[in-house]
């Protein structure tokens, strides 16, 4: 029996997220189908994260067991021969039997892309949130700085989630502009349901003057699950997960 770690990227537009579920087209289902073609049978398949419907991944990790031992480069090649065009594998490694793609994650990074041009760009449509008004990146970064460190993030968890331990640590959170594309980069030890999109939505309200940067601490302290504005999924990318052994 060999345990594998495989890293993939996917364009999430056509999928109901990663997590396999009845009556929905998911990335996890495509991964499972692909692994069955390559390995015959696999078990203990796990993905590093649930991602929401329409969210992308630039670096997503899956782990699984197989009786077959294939060279790492062959696994990547064979998986790409079996994946649809919106998913691809780019890395494979043998890992110890105890490894688990989800439970062993020590940090995650997300990016959120805003297309901030004056007119919509067809090439960015599926890959960003089109927001044509001026953005005050200074104020947004001032507000984002209040998220750094360890906090209870209940206020940035979408209504409906049943998670009870909402304490997470954020290592970095910052906006940057490259021409018309504004990228928000956030890393932490874990994220709650829709947390990144709710954070981006709130920081857009900061840019619009609806919320002051210095109000972020009191929003955190209120600890009420929110029905607030979550920035839309097509701008969000899981940008990588880190494991201790790497």
Give the binding site for a second copy (CB under 8 A). Answer: 9-11, 56, 58, 76, 80, 85-90, 118-123, 125, 127
Secondary structure of 57-119 in the HEC alphabet? EEEEEEEEEECCCCCHHHHHHHHHHHCCCCEEEEEEEEECCCCCCCCCEEEEEEEEEEECCCC
Closer of 155 and 239 to a second copy (Cβ): 239
**Which residues are within 8 A (CB) of 121 and not within 5 positions of it... i.e. 6 or more apart?**
115, 130, 180
Shortest CB 110 distance to a second copy, Å: 16
* Closest among 48, 77, 78 to 61, alpha carbons compared: 48
Torsion of CA 186, 89, 180, 15, to 10 degrees: -80
Shortest CB 90 distance to a second copy, Å: 4
Quote the CA–CA distance of 144 and 219 in Å, as a whole number: 12
Closer of 60 and 184 to a second copy (Cβ): 60
Shortest CB 56 distance to a second copy, Å: 8
Partners of residue 3 on adjacent β-strands: 65, 95
Shortest CB 235 distance to a second copy, Å: 13
Closer of 118 and 209 to a second copy (Cβ): 118
Helices (H), the chain: 27-39, 72-82, 137-145, 195-207, 216-222
* Closest among 136, 121, 147 to 177, alpha carbons compared: 136
Closer of 6 and 195 to a second copy (Cβ): 6
Quote the CA–CA distance of 241 and 246 in Å, as a whole number: 11
Shortest CB 166 distance to a second copy, Å: 32
- Annotated catalytic residue 52: yes
Closer of 32 and 205 to a second copy (Cβ): 32
Quote the CA–CA distance of 192 and 245 in Å, as a whole number: 24
User: Considering 52, 126, 136, 178, which one is annotated as catalytic?
Assistant: 52
Residue with tokens 């290592």: 171
Residues with catalytic roles: 52
């Amino acid at each position: 029996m060999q345990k594998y770690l495989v890293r993939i990227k996917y364009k999430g537009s056509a999928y109901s997220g990663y997590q396999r579920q009845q009556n929905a087209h998911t990335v996890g289902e495509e991964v499972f189908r692909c692994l069955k073609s390559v390995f015959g049978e696999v078990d203990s398949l796990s993905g590093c994260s649930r991602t929401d419907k329409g969210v992308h991944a630039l670096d997503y990790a899956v782990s699984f067991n197989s009786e077959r031992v294939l060279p790492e480069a062959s696994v990547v090649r064979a998986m790409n021969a079996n994946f649809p065009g919106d998913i691809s594998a780019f890395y494979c490694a043998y890992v110890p039997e105890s490894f688990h793609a989800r439970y062993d994650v020590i940090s995650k990074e997300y990016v959120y892309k805003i297309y901030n041009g004056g007119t919509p760009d067809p090439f960015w449509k599926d890959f960003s949130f089109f927001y044509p008004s001026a953005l005050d990146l200074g104020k947004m970064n001032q507000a984002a700085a209040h998220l750094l460190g360890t906090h209870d993030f209940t206020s940035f968890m979408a209504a409906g989630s049943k998670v009870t331990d909402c304490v997470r640590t954020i290592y970095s959170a910052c906006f940057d502009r490259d021409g018309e594309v504004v990228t928000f980069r956030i890393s932490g030890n874990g994220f709650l349901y829709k947390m990144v999109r709710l954070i981006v939505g709130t920081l857009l309200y900061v840019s619009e003057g609806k919320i002051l940067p210095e109000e972020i601490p009191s929003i955190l302290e209120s600890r009420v699950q929110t029905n607030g504005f979550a920035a839309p999924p097509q701008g969000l990318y899981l940008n990588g997960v880190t494991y201790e052994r790497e």
